Amino acid sequence: MKFFYKTVTLSLLLLILYIPLASCSTERFTEDLSTVWEEQPNEKLVFMSKADSPEGELYLSDKDRKTTRLTTNNRHENNPALSPDGTRVAFQAGDSANMLTWEIYILDLETGIESQLTNNNIIDAHPDWSPDGAKIIFSSFRDTKGNPSGTADIFVMNIDGSDLVQLTDTPWEDNDPEWSPDGTMIAFKSTRMTQQHAREEIFVMNSDGSNLRRLTVTESMQSDHDPSWSPDSNYIVFNRYESDRPWTDITDPSIFTVNWQELIPWNIYKVDLHGVVVKLTDVDFTAGLPVYSVDGSKILYLELDFILQDNRVVGAQHRLILMNADGNSPVQMIPDDRHTPTLEYYDW
């Protein structure tokens, strides 16, 4: 399964840094956080955490600071995506030791009923909703005959799993698809231009797979991941790996824990539909997984504060940081709690 480790990004770093150590605070996070979440226009936050299970479960947090566990099983759940109306969550789930079991599911937040959309011996992952809530876009590691493949393409299906359509077909990597709020476009990452593993860039195409365009151009071993749209469909935020060695070295803990300084930083950028790129954060460690607020005024992202012992990484605090859409005024959105050492992918 080594091929899959070249396709995921920050989540692998998070899987390595899951050691639940005592919380450490930094000067930037000493202010009162009691009202930050309550002041935001978004009503719900869904996330993955290992606080109650080594495999990882999904949780829902609301603005009243009530956190509800959504899944209870021995599967690994991740990549949650809230439906446009906020009533359902799409996600990937399966055996954490066998990624070929990863399938796409939908959970109804009101009834608790779970539906499985895919069922095969193939990695299906990173689901996202169409703006009307009728379809799911996702990445799938399958070839044209439906067999497991070393790279992913992008597919779309109805929310009952029917009418599967393949949107991209390349021997290189197409992954992390995100549907634009106006329904006309899909953003994703791809190695189709660099033609090199660990050298992803951001692309956009029409929702039917036509009119594919490259938006970002990387240099050296830079790599772009996890695109997410602004509410007006004019901008895409993403995280960029900025070091000089392949980011995939983070998948080997024996390399990362010692050579971590060579595998950072990761920062947040945005790009418009003309390919104009703007850097929004300038951290020394890791900032990733950016998502706009529903009114476009803020961007929520995940920052890892590494915990070091003898200059070796032994863990990290996984903090959700909220900043203005121009990158200014970052503040921790939720105070440190039992989920901070292991929180991973999220949506709001």
Domain coordinates in residue numbering, the chain = 2-347
| Dihedral pair phi/psi, residue 141, rounded to 5° | -95, 75
- Per-residue confidence (pLDDT) for residue 20, from 0 to 100: 37
- Beta pairing partners, 187: 178, 204
- Per-residue confidence (pLDDT) for residue 35, from 0 to 100: 87
Tens-place pLDDT, residues 210-259: 999 999 999 999 999 999 999 999 999 999 999 999 999 998 999 999 99
User: What is the rounded average pLDDT of the residues 28-57?
Assistant: 86
Has residue 28 got a pLDDT over 80? no
- In which band, very low, low, confident or very high, does the pLDDT at 4 lie, cut at 50, 70 and 90? very low
User: What is the rounded average pLDDT of the residues 124-142?
Assistant: 97
Has residue 23 got a pLDDT over 70? no
- Per-residue confidence (pLDDT) for residue 34, from 0 to 100: 67
- In which band, very low, low, confident or very high, does the pLDDT at 161 lie, cut at 50, 70 and 90? very high
- pLDDT > 90 in the chain, percent: 85
**Mean pLDDT rounded to a whole number for the chain:** 91
- Per-residue confidence (pLDDT) for residue 63, from 0 to 100: 87
Q: Report domain 2-347's class.
A: mainly beta
- In which band, very low, low, confident or very high, does the pLDDT at 15 lie, cut at 50, 70 and 90? very low
User: What is the rounded average pLDDT of the residues 152-163?
Assistant: 97
User: What is the rounded average pLDDT of the residues 58-79?
Assistant: 94
Place of tokens 């779970």: 114
